[in-house]
Amino acid sequence: MVAAGSGTRLGTDMPKQFLALGGRSMLDWSLDCLEGRANVVLVVAPEFVERMGSAGDDSEPERATRVVGGGPTRSLSVRAGLAAVPPTASIVLVHDAARPFCSAEVVDRVLAAVRSGADAVVPGVPVVDTIKRVSGSTVVSTLERSTLVAAQTPQGFRASALRRAHATGAEATDDAALVEAGGGRVEWVAGDIMNRKVTTIDDLPWFEGEARRRSAAANRARS
């Protein structure tokens, strides 16, 4: 679980994964889809390692097997987390804490595809907008929308393939791109339109509303 971002793009004074959504931290929501499916290595900014390892913290550190400090880039943070994964692990999932509403069904599809032989598996949703390739203010080309998907996390990997990809020291916006660059077999499975990523402050009202809806539904189910 990659949660080492600073929240700069969100414009907050704390990392976005600690922001409250419907009375719970974004990180807590993000951990839900992995419950019972994976042992979690949580990667946070180095200054938060001690806090996250303290009992009683609002972000429920007991849900993570290990808490480690990340690096200044996403790829370096993933490498720090990967170093804490036991060498006996055969499958590794990489999930961004900024996607709090991933479903267990997506996780199961990703795991099944890795077990079927893929080196890397990306959950994705079809692109609904027309996508233009541009150079400055000039439109260069229009991409064929039917061949595009928007990548999500958690992405799943054969542990050996992910370790080889990161051993190159390359940087990428997602880990499947590193496996792809190394000639690995990368597949995609259906993602979930609710598995959105928190990026800017304008995203928060939707996420807060969805968190409240889910909390209310859970309370009704328990009553």
**pLDDT at position 56:** 40
**pLDDT at position 59:** 47
Superfamily for the 2-222 domain: Spore Coat Polysaccharide Biosynthesis Protein SpsA; Chain A (3.90.550.10)
Sorted by where each begins, the domain ranges of the chain are 2-222
Condensed to tens digits (0 to 9), the pLDDT of residues 169-218 reads 999 999 999 999 999 999 999 999 999 999 888 999 999 999 999 999 98
Residue percentage of the chain with pLDDT more than 70: 92
**pLDDT at position 58:** 45
Condensed to tens digits (0 to 9), the pLDDT of residues 205-219 reads 999 999 999 999 988
Query: Exposure string (b/e) for 179-215, b if CB count within 10 Å is 16 or more?
Result: bbebebebbbbebbeebbebeeeeebeebeebbeebe
What is the C-alpha separation between 101 and 213, in angstroms, rounded?
Answer: 12
| 10 pLDDT more than 90 | no
State pTM to two decimals: 0.92
What is the C-alpha separation between 211 and 213, in angstroms, rounded?
Answer: 5
In contact, 67 and 52? CB cutoff 8 Å = yes
